[in-house]
Amino acid sequence: MKVKTIIILITTGIFMSCQRENKAETIGDDNPLLAMWDTPYGAPPFDKIENKHYKPALEEAMRIQQAEVDAIANSHELPTFKNTIVALENSGTLLTRIKTVFNNLNTANTNDELQAIAKEMAPLLSKNYDDTYLNEKLFARVKKIWDKQLSLKLSTEDAKLLERKYKSFVRSGALLDEKQKDRLRKINEELSVLSLQFGDNVLGETNSYELVIKDKANLAGLPKELVDAAALEAKEKGKENQWVFTLQNASVMPFLQYADNRELRKEIWTAYQNRANNGNKLDNRIAIVQMASLRAEKAQLLGYKSHAHFVLEERMAKTPEEVYKLIDQIWKPALAKAKAEEADIKKMMEADGIAGPVQPYDWRYYTEKIRRQRFNFDEQELKPYFSLDSVRNGIFTVTEKLYGIKFKQVKNVPVYHKEVTAWEVTEADGRFIGLLYMDFFPRASKKGGAWMTSYRKQYNTDGTRTAPIISIVCNFTKPTGNEPALLTFDETTTFFHEFGHALHGLLSNVTYETLSGTSVPTDFVELPSQIMENWAAEPEVLKLYAKHYKTGETLPDELIAKMQQAATFDQGFATVEFLAATYLDMAYHTRSEAMTQNIGPFEAEAMQKIGLIPSIIPRYRSTYYSHIFNGGYSAGYYSYIWSGVLDTDAFEAFKTTSLFDPATAKSFRTNILERGFTLDPSLMYRNFRGADPSIEPLLRKRGLQEQVLINDKL
């Protein structure tokens, strides 16, 4: 998901095939989660599901899954790939579909009752998982197949499934003794609850803050669209003739970028960077210490030096040393560029009569002023050309030109919120590919950021493809008055990014659900998303979709030229704040022992160690770092820059032919988008590109190559 905004939540989900759904028919139709789903495309019956249905459905589905697992484990037949590995793959499908709906709604349209159910069910779901992967009889059958795999003559995908199943058992503690297993169960239970609480606290803190402006003079410098949105926010909260700004990115970031009032910038920035760090019931500091300590203990229990060593064994990077090798290589030129950017800001502040060092709440404001001065370019000039509808249609056009697929909005599908739209996705010849939901605007019931998820993952049964159901969830600028939603270019690239993830899920064409779509290592999963961002800014593509929402005029060449001239502007800051968060993630997760230090000093020491300048803070500070404490990216935030090397190198294949070269697009689809995790990611990449990736395209894109040459001379 997009580095700046995302809470990475790539939830796996699958609906049962017709054969599997027969199990649900015997349960009864009083609970829609347990009944057959007689809906268009087999979509979740959101219009029938109520909060009261989740707990009994989850409990019943767990009971059914354990019965399925016990049947495999206690079978008197000799273990075979089909009766053990495939049977295990096909078990728990009812539980998976219910958990998928529940988890997705608990992030995209939550409420107090859903959050309470999640906390109550978390330890039970953790126990259910452990009951499967710590089942000695089941593991014994899996191991017998693993040990004789060379004689089985498995297909490539079957071999990968066997590998994933076997490693899942081992990495879940199957080789531990009983005392160690008991401790592991306790750790898993505690982590499941702490993670949920962390996310709820961040959401609560984000929703609880308001910057209320009553004096119109304090709106100086703010774009009309932002002022209108703040007025609408105030009106919805019963504050007439006032303006309300929030900690949602669509509100706080443009406020920091444009507000002339420095004290108000400081106020909202302070609230933003102190989320879940205020000593109240929503404080996350103690939970972070507990989670970091529990993760370190779990890793050691399983035989690893640290949580990072445990996690990275299953990633492209393989080891913490390889992660540091990459980020250290980029950190030095990025920091040098950021320091030069800071010096420019300092000069402009002094010209404005402001003494003292550059503060974090000054950076975006003065960067915008420098951009206007240096390039005669105001990003607000772009917004009329990037209405949500225009950007969406542009993405459809790009996707159709690359892969031939088409999109049609459908209104007969249940949705979980009135703002959600549903789209039928088909091949050029009309063959059905999948269903796509899109949910764009902030609300109190939705967690911050942007992400792609699935309600059903693709799989094949006896040659028949079960189509995926994919969802994109974002927090873009809302429409105001008579104006449509006008996106910033950052929001535009976020949309392209999440759509890349969606294509990865939609175009998947593999046999097994647990290997399909985005079920790949996190340092590879960002390749399909980040490569899509590259098309967003190409002049040829801008001409296709960037249309003025009033006149229909195409984005002028003059503005396109300014965009290109400013493309690497402020990339020192952008790269440094990202890498700082990456170093912070690694600092927490390369530890071999329990944390005894408070997170404030710990974070400060980690940033001092890398020489982070005080005018920049990590993109995510510890207490709202949802990627690593609530989003599955622990010891994995580096993945965006790792995939950045892949995506910029991969895009070179298009740039050296043409942006829509059919052969290159077909190769990317068949070698990357369709393959899921059926091959090693490095091999999939080489099959597409013909070679390993080079870091040079990434450095050029970020304007860091020149800085590398300067550093080398020094």
Could you tell me which residues are beta bridge partners of residue 426? 406, 432
Take residue 343 and report the two structure tokens written for it. 């010096």
Sign of CA dihedral 575, 576, 581, 584: positive
Q: 316 CB contacts (<8 Å, ≥6 apart)?
A: 521, 523, 524, 642, 681, 682
The angle at the Cα of 355, spanning 351 to 360, to the nearest 5 degrees, equals 95
CA-derived radius of gyration, the chain: 25
Residue 216: CB atoms within 10 A of its CB come to: 11
Backbone angles phi, psi at 619, to 5 degrees: -55, -35
User: From the candidates 498, 513, 526, 577, which is the catalytic residue?
Assistant: 498
Q: Give the separation between CA 452 and CA 473, rounded to whole angstroms.
A: 6
HSE of 301, CA atoms in CB hemisphere, 13 A: 25
- Both tokens of 411, joined, read 């209104």
CA–CA dist 439, 127 (Å, integer): 33
- Polymer length of the chain: 714
Distance CA 241, CA 231 (A): 7
Q: Letter for the amino acid at 663?
A: A
Three-class secondary structure of residue 365 per DSSP: helix
Tokens at 219, concatenated: 């709106």
Work out the angle between the directed axes of helices 112-133 and 178-208 (0-180°, nearest 10): 160
H or E segment to which residue 422 belongs: strand 421-426
Tell me the Ramachandran region of residue 448: left when phi exceeds 0, alpha when psi lies from -120 to 50, beta otherwise: beta
Of residues 374, 380, 290, 308, the one with CA closest to residue 340: 374
Q: Which of 270, 455, 265, 485 lies closest to 386, judged by CA?
A: 485
Question: Would you list the DSSP string of 278-330?
Answer: SSSTT--HHHHHHHHHHHHHHHHHTT-SSHHHHHHTTSSS-SHHHHHHHHHHH
What is the per-residue burial (b if ≥16 Cβ within 10 Å, else e) of 470-497?
Answer: bbbbbbbbbbbeebbbbbbbebbbbbbb
Residue 25 among the catalytic residues? no
- How far apart (Å, rounded) are the C-alpha atoms in residues 474 and 496? 11
Q: What are the backbone angles phi and psi of residue 384, rounded to the nearest 5°?
A: -60, -20
Cβ pair 530, 644 in contact under 8 A: yes
∠ Cα 463 464 465 (to 5°): 115
Q: Are 480 and 225 within 8 A, CB to CB?
A: yes
Give the angle 416-421-426 at the CA atoms, nearest 5°. 120
Eight-class DSSP state of 520: S
Measure Cα distances from 547 to 489, 540, 588 in Å. 13, 13, 46
DSSP β-ladder status, 432-439 and 469-473: parallel
266, burial (CB in 10 Å: exposed 0-12, middle 13-18, buried 19+): middle
Judge whether 626 and 449 are in contact, CB under 8 Å. Answer: yes
Report how far apart, in Å, the C-alpha atoms of 285 and of each of 208, 246, 592, 693 are: 18, 23, 20, 39
Decide: 586 and 324 in contact? Cβ < 8 Å. Answer: yes
Give the three-class secondary structure for 225: helix
- Which amino acids are annotated catalytic? 498
